Chains A and B, each alone.
Chain A
Amino acid sequence: MLKQTEGSHAVAEAVALCRPQVICAYPITPQTHIVEGLGEMVKSGELTGCEFINVESEFAALSVAIGASAAGARTYTATSSQGLLFMAEAVYNAAGLGLPIVMTIGNRAIGAPINIWNDHSDSMSMRDAGWIQLFAETNQEALDLHIQAFRLAEDLSCPVMVCMDGFILTHAYDRVDVPTQAQVDAFLPPYQPRQILDPSDPVSIGAMVGPEAFTEVRYLQHHKQLRALGLIPQLAADFAKEFRRDSGGLIRTYRTEGAETIVVALGSVNGTIQEVVDEMRAEGNAIGSVSICSFRPFPLAVLREALCNARRVVVLEKCLAVGMGGIVSDGVRKSLSGIVLNGYTVIAGLGGRAITRTSLRKLFEDAQRDELEQVTFLDLDADLVSFELERESRVRRTGPTAEALLRRIGTVASRIG
């Protein structure tokens, strides 16, 4: 049914349609509305057969999820930013144990300085923990990916993060098509665990493993993700058949035929990029874009195929590997091993800075002329940076940096973007 609703609410409805049996909730902006919505559905009786557990921290949220999943329950939680960092140890454990938990990340920056707005630093920090990471472009896709995520997680016995841009998607009211319970039931069968804590057939889960088998356990985790490279497109195709729309998959290309310049990005910014691609295509520029939906497993082969005929690739990422540059770029460059082309990394949208068509247009034109640095910070306020660097060169006791920058520009969050 078509609805005009908030992204978080759309996700809550999708999760409820997946018949979760345990939901662990601890609030943190900007994912809070999702678990609040689910809490209301459990309380009102709209969602039955589900235990909604308010826990005391994010560490507890995922620890309880691990216990519930090991006991055979379809288990869900959600978090953001610092919350994900606080549960980091459990994030690795859930993957190492192979428990098919689904967790939404309402993507948000990580402090310090404290910042509630969107970027991808949080989920990127856990990229190598062994979870599958899927990034949604729209609220419709966020809704759809949760339905796919439970099936993917349970088919593989591997946890899945569905990442959606905080505020930009979580708090946006958009048109979404909410499927029926019958449709979701037809797509997602009841959970059949590979491993279960059952007193009548006892097993131990989480034994210590020494050098004799640790590598093999890890290899099998890796192997599982490689299998996911095949399973993700298959599930997306099954989904399209059942629900009559395209969502998910490994990557999506946009006007890449004959493109000399291809922009690669994750998440909701792809919509704005596509608008700029259309503008520039209309003027005869050979430009296209690729949206990566599956960041883990990283789709090396299909990316290579999508990008190999370009002359240059611009990777636009909402995260920064400090002292290195891009995170997504490293994977993209690996996918292009042996192919000679110009690769650029662009760091954009950190801490909620708006990524505008005007800025992207200028960026892509600079890229077409190969006038970009290896690593570019989109819309960096160079005057502000010079001011601070100059001040630091003059004075020893400069005080805290972030506060000095705020004093220089005025109040917090006083501008659009």
Chain B
Amino acid sequence: MSGAELLSVAAFIEGRHAQAFPSFGSERMGAPVMAFCRIDDKEIRLREPVLEPDALIIQDATLLHQVDLFNGLPARGVVLINSAKSLDEMGLGGLAQGFQQYRVYPVPATDLALKHVGRAVPNVPLLAAFAAVTGVIGLASLERAIGEKFPASIAERNVAAARAAFEAAKSAKETISA
């Protein structure tokens, strides 16, 4: 939920309307949790869950084998997966699974968070990669949102993680587009 919240704040900073909301599963630690974010140029009245996302951010790659995460994702939909492994290593490289219809980007978000923030908090690197790949929000707005959410010293470290993830995702995108 913090990820969706932060994304909505970054979009708000850009003067857009944004709606972030959770869908809690069972109330226990470690249970899969979904959160949604809509971004628009006009007021958002719709209150249904996001059923056909333009992009999907997967914080825990082990969910790939448990839940039908791709349900509703259109062809060419963007998928960011928190993983230091390549698509082949995750078993997503083959044509057989049907993943080639999406634009899938592995992001080593937990590694980047551990390196820069010192804790396994992958939200910020994933959002930075989202910014790099989609351009829906700018890195500067994300950095401002981080500044609003965290105390200065933690914000600074998160901004470093965001910049690293942004650069990595930008070059990954160029490789895929090329």
Does A200 belong to the interface (CB within 8 Å)?
no
Contact of B9 with A by CB under 8 A: yes
Q: List chain A residues, Cβ under 8 A from B17.
A: 175
B9 near A411 with CB under 8 A, answer no
B4 at the binding interface (Cβ < 8 Å): yes
Residue from the list A174, A356, A357 in contact with B19, Cβ < 8 A: A174
- Since A172-B19, A173-B9 are in contact, a sample of 14 more A-B pairs with Cβ atoms closer than 8 Å, ordered by chain A residue number, is A116-B24, A165-B47, A168-B47, A171-B22, A173-B18, A174-B44, A268-B47, A270-B45, A271-B46, A272-B48, A355-B48, A412-B25, A416-B51, A417-B48
Q: Tell me how many residues of B have a C-beta within 8 Å of chain A.
A: 27
Asked if B22 and A354 sit within 8 Å, CB to CB, the answer is no
Asked whether any CB of chain A lies closer than 8 Å to the CB of B23, the reply is yes
Q: Which residues of B contact A354 (CB under 8 A)?
A: 48-49
Which residue numbers of B lie inside 8 Å of A, CB to CB? 1, 4-5, 8-9, 12-13, 17-27, 34, 44-49, 51, 67
> A272 with B24: in contact, given A4-B8, A173-B5, A173-B9 (CB under 8 Å)?
no
Given contacts A4-B12, A175-B12, A416-B34, contact A356 B22 (CB under 8 A): no
Provide the bound-state CA to CA distance between A356 and B47, in Å: 8
Q: Is A173 in contact with B20, judged by CB distance below 8 angstroms?
A: yes
Q: Which residues of B contact A4 (CB under 8 A)?
A: 8-9, 12-13, 18
Complex CA–CA separation, A274 to B26 (angstroms): 31
Range for the number of chain A residues in contact with chain B: 20 to 34
7 A-B contacts, Cβ less than 8 Å apart? A172-B19, A173-B5, A173-B20, A269-B47, A272-B46, A356-B49, A417-B51
Q: How far is the CB of A373 from chain B (nearest CB, A)?
A: 24
Q: Please, how many angstroms separate the alpha-carbon atoms of A117 and B49 in the complex?
A: 14
The distance in angstroms between the C-alpha atoms of A414 and B26, with both chains bound, is 8
A392 interfacial by beta-carbon distance below 8 Å: no
A175: chain B residues at CB < 8 Å are 12, 17-18
**Alpha-carbon distance between A417 and B48 when the two chains are bound, in angstroms:** 8
Q: Are B21 and A167 in contact (CB under 8 A)?
A: yes
In the complex, residue of chain A having the shortest beta-carbon distance to the beta carbon of B20: A173
User: Taking the complex as formed, is A89 at the interface, i.e. its CB lies under 8 A from any CB of chain B?
Assistant: no
> What residues make up the interface of A, taking CB atoms closer than 8 Å to B?
2, 4, 6, 116-117, 165, 167-168, 171-175, 268-272, 274-275, 354-357, 411-414, 416-417
Across the interface, name the chain A residue whose C-beta is closest to B5.
Answer: A173
Q: How far is the CB of B28 from chain A (nearest CB, A)?
A: 10
CB distance from A108 to the nearest CB of B (A): 12
Shortest Cβ distance from A30 into B: residue:
B24
Tell whether, in the assembled complex, residue B25 and residue A414 are in contact, meaning their CB atoms are under 8 Å apart. Answer: yes
Distance in Å: Cβ of B5 to nearest Cβ of chain A: 5
Q: A4-B9, A173-B19 are in contact. Are A274 and B25 (CB under 8 A)?
A: no
The residues of A that contact B49 with a CB separation of less than 8 Å are 354, 356, 416-417
Tell which of B21, B24, B25, B51 touches A172, judged by Cβ atoms closer than 8 Å. B21
Which residue of chain B is the closest to A2 with respect to CB atoms? B12
A171 near B21 with CB under 8 A, answer yes
Kindly list chain B residues whose C-beta atoms are within 8 Å of the C-beta of A168: 21, 47
Task: Say whether B21 contacts A275, CB under 8 Å.
Answer: no
Interface centre among A171, A270, A355 (most CB of B within 10 A): A171
In the A-B complex, list the 5 residue pairs whose CB atoms are closest, starting with the nearest: A271-B45, A4-B12, A172-B21, A173-B20, A413-B25
Q: A227 to B13, alpha carbons, bound, how many Å?
A: 44
- A411 close to B18 (CB less than 8 A): no
CA distance A30 to B153 in the complex (A): 32
